[in-house]
Amino acid sequence: MASVRNLLVFRQLFHKETSTYTYLLACKQTMKAVLIDPVLDCVERDLKLLRELGVQLVYGINTHVHADHITGTGKLKQALPDCKSVLGSKSGGRADIFVDQSERLKFGNLMLECRSTPGHTNGCTTFVLHDRAMAFTGDALLVRGCGRTDFQQGSPSTLYESVHSQILSLPKHYKLYPAHDYKGFSVTTVEEELAHNTRLTKSKEEFIKIMDNLNLPYPKRIDESLPANLICGVTDPVSS
Amino acid sequence: MASVRNLLVFRQLFHKETSTYTYLLACKQTMKAVLIDPVLDCVERDLKLLRELGVQLVYGINTHVHADHITGTGKLKQALPDCKSVLGSKSGGRADIFVDQSERLKFGNLMLECRSTPGHTNGCTTFVLHDRAMAFTGDALLVRGCGRTDFQQGSPSTLYESVHSQILSLPKHYKLYPAHDYKGFSVTTVEEELAHNTRLTKSKEEFIKIMDNLNLPYPKRIDESLPANLICGVTDPVSS
């Protein structure tokens, strides 16, 4: 029997314009696959890759309702009607499947644990693949940073609690894969972020002060992205 | 004893402006590290990462003399005098260490096999980490493509032979890491490229025809990049 490690097909994909990472995970025994945070502009690329790898997409997962790009889950579902969209239950958006703390998403012989990590948005979810010591943190934790907390129900206090209790409490060797990176990093570990995260190594009070004083510009694509992402993609034929 | 798989620290790093991948590989037992294809513009980022990971850079490796960006090996050597620059012996450039077919580069308890893969340039080298079934192909093989062959001693016939005899002859499950990607892919496998590479699945004759008719523009940064890269970076204090 193949070891668990050899069960996984894993691809990290990048959308350069918004510096967004999309993750393809598939079970080699059953060829069932999920995409985490697919981007609308890249759906044709991703569909071609799924075909070439011979895998079947069962879930199009969004870690949260993105403000900077439109999710690809709607278009993916049009092309692949058996695929279900997935979103955190507290997101306020629409999806085929809503996930809450501790729920599990199975694809073939692999399983993702869902961890609620609000603070960037209310519905933010981190997905953990314990078999491979990997976690997909969305915008809750970025390499050496974190997502902003100044819109979409953002709360620095909540984010601090989420990241420390749900992500940095994982074993030190766990690899953390963010939804974005702007400096060319692709992955980090719990150990690295506990030692070197520029914001989350501070006290909660200092962290809140940092986040409240970022004075970031209004996100460029938020006005088109949010309404579309609340329904899991502009063309999402949600079953319900 | 740690298994070979657990011996490796691996980071794929990206330079967005030129879509260049840099690879950090380090041996966990000895903390000796190499960087493959570091980019001058990213040296500060890479030095910080090396420090944070607590690893010691022993080799700054160039898969070839790049035409689109300036290598970081010279600046890295200034900051880390124990680091040696590495380049293929047929590159026509300068470096501390020249490598040829079948030579081995050891870093701690890990080892890279050097395979000459000319065709994009004469000195192109692919570095294979057999312990982890990974190969770093430079511009010889890209995901679903390959490097151009219309300047710098390029030869489609030679490239076709190199890729088929030295890269696609590796076991099918070997992961292939390119020096560039322009569509957001980060890795491929021998199996995938044997089936889906748009150019290298053709006959040699068809491949040559494709490559001879690409009509690509003159590389934007070649006039500054080539002279600097021939000496392994503008500030490279080569010992010899």
**Residue A163 per-residue DSSP state:** I
**Residue A64 per-residue DSSP state:** S
Q: With bands split at pLDDT 50, 70 and 90, how would you rate the model's confidence at A240?
A: very low
Pairing of strands A175-178, B134-138: unpaired
Residue of B nearest to A184 (CA): B14
CA B109 to CA B121: how far, in whole Å? 31
The mean pLDDT of A138-155, rounded to a whole number, is 94
Residue of A nearest to B51 (CA): A196
Give B169's contacts (C-beta < 8 A, 6+ positions apart): none
User: What's the per-residue H, E or C state across chain B?
Assistant: CCCHHHHEEEEEEEECCCCEEEEEEEECCCCEEEEECCEHHHHHHHHHHHHHHCCEEEEEECCCCCCCCCECHHHHHHHCCCCEEEEEHHHCCCCCEEECCCCEEEECCEEEEEEECCCCCCCCEEEEEHHHCEEEEECCCECCECCCCCCCCCCHHHHHHHHHHHHCCCCCCCEEEECECCCCCCCEEHHHHHHHCCCCCCCHHHHHHHHHCCCCCCCCCHHHHHHHHHCCCCCCCCCC
CB contact under 8 A, A185 and B15: no
Take residue A173 and report the two structure tokens written for it: 């060797």
Q: Work out the minimum CA distance from B153 to partner chain A, whole angstroms.
A: 31
CB contact under 8 A, B183 and A53: no
The mean pLDDT of A10-31, rounded to a whole number, is 97
Q: Which residues on chain B are in Cβ contact (under 8 Å) with A44?
A: none
Take residue A177 and report the two structure tokens written for it: 């894969």
Nearest residue, CB atoms, A184 vs list B15, B53, B187:
B15
Residue of B nearest to A143 (CA): B49
Contact with chain A for residue B184, Cβ under 8 A? yes
CA A125 to CA A47: how far, in whole Å? 24
Answer yes or no: is pLDDT of A229 > 80.
yes
- Is B115:B151 a contact under the CB 8 Å cutoff? no
Q: Which residues on chain A are in Cβ contact (under 8 Å) with B14?
A: 14, 184-186
pLDDT for the residue numbered A5: 54
- Average pLDDT, whole number, for chain A? 93
pLDDT for the residue numbered A31: 97
Q: Which residues on chain B are in Cβ contact (under 8 Å) with A195?
A: 52
Q: Which residues on chain A are in Cβ contact (under 8 Å) with B42?
A: 184
What single string gives the DSSP state of each residue in A138-154? ETTSBTTB----SSTT-
Nearest to B202 by CA among B172, B234, B238, B157: B157
- Mind listing the pLDDT tens digit for each residue in A86-105? 999 999 999 999 999 999 99
Q: Work out the minimum CA distance from A88 to partner chain B, whole angstroms.
A: 26
- Mind listing the pLDDT tens digit for each residue in A164-217? 999 999 999 999 999 999 999 999 999 999 999 999 999 999 999 999 999 888
Answer yes or no: is pLDDT of A3 > 90.
no
Please report where in the chains the tokens 């590989």 appear, as a residue. B25
Take residue A129 and report the two structure tokens written for it: 């693949």
CB contact under 8 A, B11 and A186: yes
pLDDT for the residue numbered B222: 86
Q: Work out the minimum CA distance from B100 to partner chain A, whole angstroms.
A: 31
Per-residue pLDDT of chain B (240 residues; tens, 9 = 90+): 445 557 999 999 999 999 999 999 999 999 999 999 999 999 999 999 999 999 999 999 999 998 888 999 999 999 999 999 999 999 999 999 999 999 999 999 999 999 999 999 999 999 999 999 999 999 999 999 999 999 888 999 999 999 999 999 999 999 999 999 999 999 999 999 999 999 999 999 999 999 999 988 888 888 888 888 888 775 555 543
CB contact under 8 A, A13 and B192: no
Q: With bands split at pLDDT 50, 70 and 90, how would you rate the model's confidence at A153?
A: confident
Q: Work out the minimum CA distance from A216 to partner chain B, whole angstroms.
A: 22
- Cα of first residue to Cα of last residue in chain B, in angstroms, is 40
Contact with chain B for residue A238, Cβ under 8 A? no
Contact with chain A for residue B133, Cβ under 8 A? no
Ordered by where they begin, the domains of chain A are: 4-215 (3.60.15.10)
